[in-house]
A and B are shown apart, each in its own frame.
Chain A
Amino acid sequence: MNKAHNENRDLRRLLRDLVALATTPAAWVGRAPAQIAESVADLLLHTLRADAVYICLRSQNSIEVVRDGQRPGFAEEARTLLSNSVPGSLYVDTITSPKWPISLKVAVQPIGISGEDGFIVIGCADAEFPSEAENLLLSVGANQAAVALRAARLRAEADSERNRLRDLLAQAPAAMGLLMGPEHRWTYVNDEYVRLTGRNDPDDFLGKSVVESLPEIRTQGFIELLDEVYRTGKPFFGREMKTNLERSARGLSNESYWDFVYQPVRDAVGHVDGILVHAVEVTDRVLARKNIEESERKYRDLAESATIALHWVGADGTILWANKAELEMLAYTAEEYIGHKITEFHLDSPVINDILNRLCRGEKLREYQARLQAKDGSIRHVIIDSSVLFENGKFIHTRCFTRDITERKLAEQRLQQSEARFRAIVETTPECVKLVARDGTLLHMNSAGLSMVEAERAEMVVGKSVYDLIAPEDCLRFREFNERICQGERGSLEFDLLGLKGTRRHMETHAAPLQNPDESLVQLAVTRDVTERKNAEMALRESEQKLRVVTDATPVMIWMSGTDKLCYYFNKSWLDFVGRALEQEMGNGWAENVHPDDFDRCLQIYVSSFDARQPFEMEYRLRHHTGEYRWILDHGVPRHGPDGTFEGYVGGCLDIHDQKEASQARSRLAAIVESSDEAIISKDLNGLVTSWNRQAERLFGYTEQEMIGRSILTIIPPELHRDEDMILSKIRNGEKIDHFETVRVAKSGERIEVSISISPVRDENGRVVGAAKIARDIRESKKIERTLRTTEKLAAAGRLAATVAHEINNPLEAVANLVYLAKRDVRDAEKVASYLNSAKQELNRVAHITRQTLGFYRDTSSPVRFNVASTLDDVLGLYERRFETRNIRVVKQYDDDAEIVALAGEIRQAFSNLLTNALDAMPSAGTLSLRIHKSHKWDNAHAPGVRIVIADSGSGISPEHKQNLFQPFFTTKADVGTGLGLWITRGIIEKHGGSIRARSRTGQKHGTTFSMFLPGVPKHSREQAQLGTQPEHELVAGD
Chain B
Amino acid sequence: MKIIVVDDEPVIADTLVNILNGEGYNAISTSNGRSAIEWSEKFQPDVVVSDVIMPGLSGVDTAKAILKQLPNCRIILFSGQAASVDLVARAREEGYSFEVLAKPVDPDVLLNKISGPEGA
Judge whether A813 and B12 touch: CB under 8 Å: yes
Residue of A nearest to B22 (CB): A824
A836 to chain B, nearest CB (A): 12
Given contact pairs A813-B105, A816-B105, A885 touches B81 in the complex (Cβ within 8 A): no
Closest residue of chain B to A820, judged by CB?
Answer: B107
Known: A814-B12, A924-B56. 8 other contacts (CB 8 A): A802-B83, A809-B103, A813-B12, A813-B103, A817-B19, A818-B11, A821-B15, A821-B22
Residues of B near A924 (CB, < 8 A) are 55-56
B-contacting residues, A478-521, CB 8 Å = none
Q: B1-41 CB contact bits vs A (8 Å, 1 = yes)? A: 00000001101100110110010000000000000000000
Query: 1/0 contact trace for B87-111 toward A, CB 8 Å?
Result: 0000000000000001111111000
Contacts known (A815-B104, A817-B15); A802 close to B82, Cβ less than 8 A: yes
Contact between B107 and A809, CB atoms less than 8 A apart? no
For residue A737, CB closer than 8 A to chain B, the reply is: no
Minimum Cβ distance to chain A for residue B13 (Å): 10
Q: Which residue of A lies closest to B54 (CB)?
A: A885
- Decide yes or no whether B53 CB sits under 8 A from chain A: yes
Q: Does A259 lie at the interface of the complex (its beta carbon under 8 Å from any beta carbon of B)?
A: no
Docked Cα-Cα span, A202 to B78, in Å, equals 104
Q: Produce 1/0 per residue, B39-70, CB < 8 A to A.
A: 00000000000000111100000000000000
Central interface residue in B11, B22, B105, by most chain A CB within 10 Å: B11
- Given A814-B11, A817-B15, A924-B55: A809 and B83 within 8 A (CB)? no
Minimum distance in angstroms from B70 CB to a CB of chain A: 26
The residues of B that contact A818 with a CB separation of less than 8 Å are 11, 15
Within 8 A of B (CB), among A790-828: 802, 805-806, 808-810, 812-818, 820-821, 824
Tell me if A677 is interfacial: C-beta within 8 Å of chain B: no
Q: Which of A859-887 contact B (CB under 8 A)?
A: 885-887
B19 touches A820 (CB 8 A): yes
> Would you list 15 pairs from A and B whose C-beta atoms are within 8 A, ordered by A residue?
A802-B81, A802-B83, A809-B80, A809-B103, A810-B9, A810-B103, A813-B12, A815-B104, A816-B105, A816-B107, A817-B12, A817-B18, A842-B11, A886-B55, A887-B55
Give A14 Cβ to nearest chain B Cβ, in Å: 88
Whether the Cβ atoms of A817 and B107 lie closer than 8 Å is yes
The interface residues of chain A lying within 8 Å CB-to-CB of B108 are 820
Looking at the assembled complex, report how far the CB atom of A603 sits from the nearest CB atom of chain B, in whole angstroms: 75
Q: How far is the CA of A896 from the CA of B112 in the complex (A)?
A: 53
- CB contacts (< 8 Å) of B16 on chain A: these are 817
Structural contact, B12 and A810, CB atoms closer than 8 A: yes
Report the separation of the CA atoms of residues A805 and B103 in the bound assembly, to the nearest whole angstrom. Answer: 10
Measured between C-beta atoms, what is the minimum distance from A312 to chain B in Å? 112
**Considering the chains assembled together, what is the distance between the CA atoms of A620 and B19 in angstroms?**
102
> How far is B105's CA from A817's CA once the two chains are assembled, in angstroms?
8
The reply to whether A812 and B103 contact each other, CB–CB distance below 8 Å, is yes
Q: Which residues of B contact A802 (CB under 8 A)?
A: 81-83
Complex CA–CA separation, A230 to B102 (angstroms): 97
* Alpha-carbon distance between A855 and B37 when the two chains are bound, in angstroms: 41
Look across to chain A and name the residue whose beta carbon is closest to the beta carbon of B9.
Answer: A810
Find chain A residues with CB under 8 A from B22 CB. Answer: 821, 824
Q: A820-B107, A924-B56 are in contact. Are A813 and B80 (CB under 8 A)?
A: yes
Task: Pick the residue among A809, A838, A886 that contacts B104 (CB under 8 A).
Answer: A809
- Least CB distance from A817 to B in Å reads 4
CA distance A816 to B12 in the complex (A): 9
Are A821 and B19 touching (Cβ within 8 A)? yes
Shortest distance between the CB of A835 and any CB in chain B (Å): 8
Q: Give the residues in chain A near B105, CB-CB below 8 Å.
A: 813, 816
B18's closest neighbor in chain A, by CB?
Answer: A821
Residues of chain B lying within 8 A (CB to CB) of residue A810: 9, 12, 80, 103
The minimal Cβ–Cβ distance linking A217 to chain B, given in whole angstroms, is: 77
Give the residues in chain B near A806, CB-CB below 8 Å. 53, 80-81
Q: How far is the CB of B111 from chain A (nearest CB, A)?
A: 9
Q: How far is the CB of B53 from chain A (nearest CB, A)?
A: 7
Q: Which 6 A-B pairs have the closest CB atoms?
A: A809-B80, A817-B15, A812-B104, A820-B107, A813-B104, A806-B81
Establish whether residues B18 and A816, one from each chain, have CB atoms under 8 Å apart when the complex forms. no
Q: Which residue on B lies nearest to A923, using beta carbons?
A: B55
User: Would you give the shortest CB distance from A890 to chain B, in whole angstroms?
Assistant: 16
Smallest Cβ distance from B89 to chain A, in angstroms? 13
Q: Most chain-B Cβ atoms within 10 A of its Cβ — which of A805, A816, A821, A842?
A: A816
Q: How far apart are B73's CB and chain A's nearest CB, in angstroms?
A: 23
Question: Given A806-B81, A809-B80, is A885 in contact with B8 using a C-beta cutoff of 8 Å?
Answer: yes
Q: Which residue of A lies closest to B101 (CB)?
A: A813
Partner among A805, A814, A887 whose Cβ is within 8 Å of the Cβ of B15: A814
- Give bound CA distance, A809 to B52, whole Å: 13
Does B55 lie within 8 Å of A885, measured CB to CB?
Answer: yes
Shortest beta-carbon distance, A885 to chain B, in Å? 4
Residues of A within 8 A of B19 (CB): 817, 820-821, 824
Complex Cα distance, B104 from A821, in Å, reads 15
Q: Which of A51-88 contact B (CB under 8 A)?
A: none
Per the bound structure, the CA–CA distance linking A821 and B103 in Å amounts to 17
Contacts of B55 in A (CB 8 A): 885-887, 924
Question: How many angstroms between the C-alpha atoms of A838 and B11 in the bound complex?
Answer: 8
Minimum distance in angstroms from A709 CB to a CB of chain B: 66
Residues of B within 8 A of A885 (CB): 8, 54-55
Q: Closest CB-CB distance, A505 to chain B, in whole Å?
A: 118
Complex CA distance for A813 and B22, rounded to whole angstroms? 18
Cα separation A810 to B108 with both chains bound (whole Å):
17
Inter-chain contacts of B107 with A (CB < 8 A): 816-817, 820
Q: Give A69 to B12 CA distance when docked, in angstroms.
A: 132
B102 contacts which chain A residues (CB < 8 A)?
A: 809
Residues of chain B within 8 A of A842, CB atoms compared: 11
Q: Which of A802, A812, A821, A838 has the most CB of B within 10 A?
A: A821
Q: How far is the CB of B29 from chain A (nearest CB, A)?
A: 12
A818 to B104, CA, bound (A): 12
Task: Report chain B residues within 8 Å CB of A887.
Answer: 55
Verify B81–A809 contact, CB threshold 8 A.
yes
With the chains together, A806 CA to B15 CA distance in Å?
19
Nearest chain-A residue to B16 (Cβ)?
Answer: A817
CA distance A815 to B107 in the complex (A): 11
Q: In the complex the two chains form, what is the Cα distance from A887 to B54 in whole Å?
A: 12
Q: How many Å lie between the Cα of A815 and that of B15 in the bound state?
A: 9
Taking the closest CB of chain A, its distance from the CB of B12, in whole angstroms, is 5
Closest to B105 in A: A813
B66 to chain A, nearest CB (A): 21
Judging by beta carbons under 8 Å apart, are A805 and B82 in contact? yes
Contacts of A817 in B (CB 8 A): 11-12, 15-16, 18-19, 107
Q: How far is the CB of B91 from chain A (nearest CB, A)?
A: 16
- Given the complex of chains A and B, what is the CA–CA distance between A806 and B80 in angstroms? 5
Give the interface centre of A802, A818, A838, A887 by most chain B CB atoms within 10 Å: A818
For A809, the chain B residues whose CB sits under 8 A away are: 80-81, 102-104
How far apart are B58's CB and chain A's nearest CB, in angstroms?
12
Pairwise interchain contact B9-A814, C-beta atoms closer than 8 A: yes
CA distance A816 to B82 in the complex (A): 20
Q: Report yes or no: A816 in contact with B8, Cβ–Cβ below 8 A.
A: no
- Nearest CB in chain B to that of A801: its residue: B82
Minimum distance in angstroms from A799 CB to a CB of chain B:
10
Give the complex CA separation of A817 and B12 in angstroms: 7
Min C-beta distance of B77 to chain A, whole Å: 13
Nearest-CB distance from B18 to chain A (Å)? 6
A343 to B79, CA, bound (A): 139
Q: CA A518 – CA B16 in complex, angstroms? A: 148
The residue on B at minimum CB distance from A809 is B80
For the complex, give the distance between the alpha carbons of A802 and B85 in Å.
Answer: 12
Minimum CB–CB distance for B55 against chain A, Å: 4
Q: Mark A826-865, 1 if CB is under 8 A from B, else 0.
A: 0000000000001000100000000000000000000000
CB of B105, distance to nearest CB on chain A (Å): 6
Partner among B56, B81, B104 whose Cβ is within 8 Å of the Cβ of A816: B104
Query: In the complex, how many angstroms separate the beta carbon of B56 from the nearest chain A beta carbon?
Result: 7
Q: How far is the CB of B90 from chain A (nearest CB, A)?
A: 11
Interface residues of A in 898-943 (CB under 8 A from B): 924
